[in-house]
Chain A
C-alpha cells in the first residue's frame, strides 16, 4: 500500500494529478450505481428538456473523483472532511484534470489540509474544494 507518513508530507506538496476523459458512459455508470439515473445525468435529450445544454455529471461524481485524487496520492490518508463547490456544470466527453496540493499541516493532530480542484483543458476550475486528511505517523 502506498503510504506517506505525516513526517514525509510538506506544505506545498502537489498531489499527483489525474487526467482523464470523462465519457458519457462513465457518467451513466456512476449515475446508475449511485441511484441517480435521472435524464439529466444519462441522456442528452432528457437533459435538454430540463433546460441544460446536454447531459451533465452529478456533482457528487466530481467530489468522488477528488477524493480519489487524495487516495492515489496517499492510500493511508484518511479523509475526515471534504468540501466541494460545484461552480459550473460538468459536461461529459471532455478531458478533465484533477489537481491539488497540501496547504497546511497540523503537528498536534497529524492532519494536513489540501486544496483540490477539477479543471478543463482551458484551466477553468469547474469544481473547487478543500479536504482534511489524517495521516499515519512514523511513531505510531
Chain B
C-alpha cells in the first residue's frame, strides 16, 4: 500500500538560513575535533601549496551547518519514535574562510520500508548550500527514520 501523505509538501522550502562569514578558526577547530591530520584542513601554510591554494574545510564541515528551523512546521509523523538514519552528502565546491554560505531546506522525499521488525518510515530533509558567488557548495540529505 502506498504511503499516504500530502505530496505537495515535497520540495516546499521550509527554511532559508544565511550564515555569518566562515571563520578560519572555525574550520581549524572543526578539523581538530575530528582528529584530522590532512594539512589541507589543518595547516594554512601547507594548504597554500595544495590543490586549493589555501585552507579549506574538512569534507563533512557542511553537516555542522544547522538551519534556523531544523524541521518543517508540519513535519509528517508516521511513527512513535524518530532516529537519525543517516546522511548523504554531495560536495561540489570547497568551503573557504570568508565564505558567506546560504542554506535552503526542503522535504525531499518520504518513503516506507518494511523489514523484519515491521514498517519504517523515512523522511529525507534536503539542505542545499551555496556560497556568496551563487556557486553550489553541497547538498546534504538527512534521513530521519520513524517507526
User: Whole-angstrom distance from the CB of B78 to the nearest CB of chain A?
Assistant: 19
Q: Which 4 A/B pairs are nearest by Cβ-Cβ distance?
A: A33-B33, A83-B88, A85-B86, A34-B64
Distance, CA A59 to CA B84, complexed state (A): 7
Interface size grouping (class) on chain A: 20 to 34
**Chain B residues with CB below 8 A from A76, complex form:** 51
Instruction: Indicate if A72 sits at the interface (CB-CB under 8 A).
Output: yes
Q: Is B72 an interface residue (CB 8 A)?
A: no
Interface presence of B50 (CB below 8 A): yes
Q: Does A82 contact B (CB under 8 A)?
A: yes
Q: How many B residues touch the partner, as a band?
A: 20 to 34
Query: Which stretch from B10-18, B35-43, B100-108, B129-137 is at the chain A interface?
Result: B35-43
With a CB–CB cut-off of 8 A, which chain A residues contact B50?
A: 1
Partner of A80, one of B60, B63, B91: B91
A86 close to B84 (CB less than 8 A): yes
- Our count of residue pairs bridging A and B at CB distance below 8 angstroms stands at 95
**What 0/1 pattern do residues 18 to 39 of B give for CB contact below 8 A with A?**
0000000000011011111111
Q: Does B55 make an interface contact (CB < 8 A)?
A: no
Residues in A whose Cβ lies below 8 Å from that of B92: 80
Look across to chain B and name the residue whose beta carbon is closest to the beta carbon of A88: B83
Q: Which of A59, A72, A85 contacts B38 (CB 8 A)?
A: A72
21 A-B residue contacts at CB 8 Å? A1-B39, A1-B40, A26-B35, A29-B33, A30-B33, A34-B33, A34-B63, A59-B84, A63-B89, A64-B59, A65-B34, A67-B34, A67-B58, A68-B35, A68-B36, A71-B38, A71-B59, A80-B91, A81-B88, A81-B90, A85-B143
Are B85 and A86 closer than 8 Å at their CB atoms?
yes
Contacting pair A82 B60 (CB below 8 A): yes
